Chains A and B, each alone.
Chain A
Amino acid sequence: MTVPRVQSARQSFAITIASLTLLLIAAMLVSATVGYRLYGLDQLYQAIFAFDGSETATVLVNLRLPRAILAPMVGAGLGVAGVLVQTLSRNRIASPDTLGLNAGASLAVVLASATLGISSLAGLSLVAALGALLTSMLVFAIAAGAGGISPIRIVLIGVTIAGLGQSVVQLILTSNEAQMQNLMFWLAGSFVDRPMALAINGLPFIAAGGAIAFALVRPLDALQADDATAVSLGVPVSLVRVGCFLAISLLSGAAVAMAGPVSFVGLVVPHAARRLAGLRHGPLMLAAALIGAIYTTLADVLARFVIYPVEAPVGAVTAVVGGLVLVVLLRRRAA
């Protein structure tokens, strides 16, 4: 009796994943071809496989393609990181922001720009990654020093560090208005003018973070209830938390380096993913990665049009779209 039901649940999940994948490919194609100028799929094909140095081909390969590849990477990373944070903290309103990584990255970028005069995108990306990494190490060290990384502790220390980081950022920005104008765009998150090298450099980190996350699928399932259950099932709780923390740092550190602090993806995507894939972490994180990728890619496309001809920061679009999606999910009692 139960066997066919499991079978059909699996089948319907496979269909869900397949359709999400198709949707993602479609979103990426839209992202590469639709924008200030509209290109055909044939032109895209030609630009990639028979690059002729024409203006069209150059724009497509140098400006459009990097965005179409970066956006889903960032979205997938933040989606999975969001699931991990919410499980690690057992808090459904936690997100990678909660651990202070974005605030740390922003602080590093603002400091580097104020004191060292760094303004190139590559420089800012590197600084952002370092900032996120240092912050995650700091949060981890304080939590470990405070007697173990329990859910409540990690959240409280994370938001405190995030608050401190934001304080200093605001302090520097309010005392230097010209700089505020320059950095506001970075601080809102964007995929404009990102080189392909950024995607290539970011890939190993996203991949490593994802690999750790998926290696922890079973222990995470046990951990989401409570510690006692997890321990009785033989889960090395502390070790899993360390791994989880590492994966979150890699994923959101890479994401903030590639796009700046993109808000709300890590908060809302897990809610949508739970609706489609349930609570088990294998399917859940797979769905979160795909939904995050689609969501961010489409938000990036939308950002090109909302205040046309100027580009809106993608972080603003993810927040508006995500806010509306969350309202719909909540009203259907799904989140």
Chain B
Amino acid sequence: MSLLVTPLSASRAPSMLVVMASALVLLALCGVAFGSSWIPIDKVAAVILGVGEKTQSLIVLQLRLPRVVIAILAGGGMAVAGFLLQKITRNSLASPGVLGVIDGGALGVVIFLAALSNESNTLVTSIVFQPLAAMAGATVGIAMVFLLSGRQSVSAIRLLLFGIAVGAVAKALVMVMMLIGPIYRTSQAARWIAGAVNEVNWTEIQITALLLLPLLILALAVARKLPPADLDEVSARSVGLDLPVFRILVFAVAAALTAVSVAFVGAIGFVGLMAPHLARLIVGRSTVAGIIGSFLLGAFMLVGADLVVRVLFSPTEVPAGTVTAIIGAPYFLFLLMSKQRDDG
């Protein structure tokens, strides 16, 4: 994996990060500007600075900005989780999707919808509790992974395999429950599984941000202590980095990041797998730059995906998670193809 990446001169990574951040800000502004009515970018800026018109303020602050902000948080969180996992397992296929966390969350949602519906298939409780069910499911999923792996949790690839096993079981149970359930429940669950950023409010964003921020700081702190290059266990130990404890910590951080990211928006796919690879291709091998780059790219992908579904499929609300692969994947393929190097 490491050979795929061209080591960049140290001076280029920061400037690339600035470019990526500017692109994200621009895209986020577009995300707020586009919608059922077009609001010019300068008006958007005015509203955010607190000097806008009243109706425009309402649309921007209550309807458009929340989905853009949650998309940044969730997309970025997933991407950082993916970066940590790929780094610690040295496996390019590692992603939040194979931790058992997301499928556990999906199972939580499906059980919530099934258990709390009455005979006529309407929910007996409020749908606002659905994220709680997702969070609980995700927590149980990752707890199962750690519980089952026991002392083997010090080995990254084994932890990953345990995650795959737990995830597969949860996913299959979700599939069966969706098949035997009534159509309302199926489509409601399918929405969560696809991942959508609409219908979030500021309270939910506050909760997500409050949980995500310390985790991201922790991720950066832990990552600084990770071996700079992809060291194997023996050489890492020889330079005084006790890997097993780190591995468990990094896994736990990644799992928590994933659980928080998916709770309100659902199982956004592909961002956690793709954004870290893309970040490495763009900013090189530095861990800190990689984490920041992953966050920016993940956020970019989800905000972009949400914009695409709003522009292309309006007025139908298509979940943004369905098109995350469409944002970024073509560019990723282009990058792969343009780096014509022998990296066998």
Contact = CB atoms under 8 A, between A and B. Distances in A.
B314 interface: no
Given A160-B274, A175-B313, A306 B322 contact: no
B316 A320 contact: no
B336 to A, nearest CB: 5
Given A155-B92, A175-B313, A326 B165 contact: yes
Contact of A147 (B91, B157, B342): B342
A307 B175 CA distance: 12
Interface string A297-327: 0000000001100101101110110111011
A148 interface: yes
B190 A174 contact: yes
Contacts of A152: 1, 3-4, 92, 343
A319 B171 contact: yes
A92 B270 CA distance: 20
Contacts of A227: 344
A167 B325 contact: yes
A164 B92 contact: no
A49 B91 CA distance: 53
B164 interface: yes
A91 interface: yes
Interface stretch (B131-139, B177-185, B243-251, B289-297): B177-185
Contacts of B319: 170, 174
B286 to A, nearest CB: 20
A209 to B, nearest CB: 23
B166 interface: yes
A323 B165 contact: yes
Interface string A174-209: 110100110011001000000000000000000000
| Residue in A93, A94, A173, A188 with the greatest tally of chain B CB atoms within 10 Å | A93
B176 A307 contact: yes
Contact of A171 (B171, B172, B323): B323
Contacts of B93: 91, 93-94, 98, 155, 159
Contacts of A155: 92-93
A124 B189 CA distance: 26
B28 interface: no
Nearest to A144: B337
A144 to B, nearest CB: 10
B340 interface: yes
Max chain A C-beta neighbours (<10 A), residue from B168, B324, B336: B168
B98 interface: yes
Contacts of A184: 178-179, 186
A37 interface: no
Given A181-B183, A327-B162, A153 B172 contact: no
Interface in B238-294: 269-270, 273-274, 277
A267 B148 CA distance: 19
B161 interface: yes
B274 to A, nearest CB: 7
A309 to B, nearest CB: 12
B169 interface: yes
Nearest to A335: B161
Interface in A92-110: 92-94, 98
B194 A174 contact: yes
- Quick one: which of A170, A317, A320 has the most chain B CB within 10 A? A170
B284 to A, nearest CB: 17
B326 interface: yes
B89 to A, nearest CB: 9
B34 interface: no
A130 interface: no
**From A171, A185, A271, residue with most partner B Cβ within 10 Å:** A171
A151 B183 CA distance: 42
Contact of A93 (B160, B190, B325): B160
A51 B273 CA distance: 54
B149 interface: yes
A147 B341 contact: yes
A5 interface: no
Given A93-B98, A177-B187, A331-B148, A319 B168 contact: yes
Given A175-B318, A237-B344, 6 more contacts: A146-B336, A155-B93, A267-B164, A319-B168, A319-B172, A333-B152
20 contacts: A93-B91, A142-B336, A146-B337, A146-B340, A147-B340, A156-B92, A156-B332, A156-B336, A159-B273, A163-B329, A164-B326, A174-B190, A177-B183, A237-B344, A315-B175, A320-B168, A323-B164, A324-B165, A333-B152, A335-B161
